[in-house]
Amino acid sequence: MLRIEDLGRRPYAEVLELQRDLRRRRLAGDLAEDVLLLVEHPPVVTMGRGTRPSSLPIPPAGLERRGVEVFEVERGGDVTFHGPGQLVGYPILDLREHRQDLHWYLRSLEDVLIQALGGMDIEAGRNPGRTGVWTSGRKIASIGVHVKQWVTLHGFALNVTNDLDPFDLIVPCGIPQVVMTSVAEELLRADSESLMTEARARVVAAFGNVFGLTAEPRPGLPSST
């Protein structure tokens, strides 16, 4: 069973603490199910463990003056941007019940996004040597994860209808000259609400398919406090 929790739009710090709490509970055996959190964030830049100084040409204080929060987090990968219109997914999975293989997990997340985009008539795939999902040489989804005792944290970000200009504030994923794109850009569609609704549904269906789980949306995750 995969428990789906659609959080709407929430601040990054709030959802980061929720992820950490859910992982603690999964490790302790107090949470029996895998969980997929789906969320949109206000503008925020996150720096993974692989972030290089050159990936952040504007210092954190300068980004914050532009209304963009900045967080250093434990996930792998370099720097990335989250904003409204981007579908962010945080799987809290116990890989001991799937496969204890980080490479397999990363490739599986890519498979989820490739399948979901294919269902929306976007031909997407991998870029050899790089994590994430691409279409026609442009990057449409980023992935960065952390695993502790085989329980996962962090996840993926799929550009759906978000403004792509803020990516110019950073070097996305530390890749110079990378061109970012979105579902809306690729399909030349402006119906933001319906695109996001479809993207959520496609991602949930693909996630269940790739990981062999039955998705079950439930309102309100029980708090541990």
Residue 182 structure tokens: 């979105």
Look at residue 220 and tell me whether its pLDDT is greater than 90. Answer: no
Say how far apart CA 94 and CA 22 lie, in whole Å: 11
> Which residues have CB under 8 Å from 184's CB, separation 6+?
85, 160, 161, 190, 192, 195
Look at residue 63 and tell me whether its pLDDT is greater than 80. Answer: yes
Tell me whether residue 173 is one of the annotated catalytic residues. yes
Residue 41 structure tokens: 């964030």
Task: Report pLDDT digits (tens) over 29-46.
Answer: 999 999 999 999 999 999
Percent of the chain, pLDDT > 90? 92
Question: According to the model, what pLDDT value does residue 166 have?
Answer: 97
Percent of the chain, pLDDT > 70? 96
Question: According to the model, what pLDDT value does residue 120 have?
Answer: 97
Question: According to the model, what pLDDT value does residue 217 have?
Answer: 76
Report the sign of the C-alpha dihedral through residues 102, 179, 88, 204, in that order: negative
Look at residue 225 and tell me whether its pLDDT is greater than 50. Answer: no
CB 50 within 8 A of CB 174: yes
CB 94 within 8 A of CB 24: no
Look at residue 20 and tell me whether its pLDDT is greater than 90. Answer: yes
Look at residue 221 and tell me whether its pLDDT is greater than 70. Answer: no
pLDDT category of residue 222 using cuts at 50, 70 and 90: very low
Q: What value does the mean pLDDT take over residues 98-114?
A: 98
Q: What value does the mean pLDDT take over residues 87-112?
A: 98
Question: According to the model, what pLDDT value does residue 223 have?
Answer: 46
User: Which pTM was predicted?
Assistant: 0.95
Question: According to the model, what pLDDT value does residue 224 have?
Answer: 40
Look at residue 201 and tell me whether its pLDDT is greater than 90. Answer: yes
> Among 87, 173, 184, 210, which one carries the catalytic annotation?
173
Look at residue 48 and tell me whether its pLDDT is greater than 70. Answer: yes
- Calculate the average pLDDT of the chain: 95
Top CATH class, 2-217: alpha beta
Task: Report pLDDT digits (tens) over 131-153.
Answer: 999 999 999 999 999 999 999 99
Question: According to the model, what pLDDT value does residue 216 have?
Answer: 83
Question: According to the model, what pLDDT value does residue 28 have?
Answer: 95
CB 164 within 8 A of CB 185: yes
CB 185 within 8 A of CB 108: no
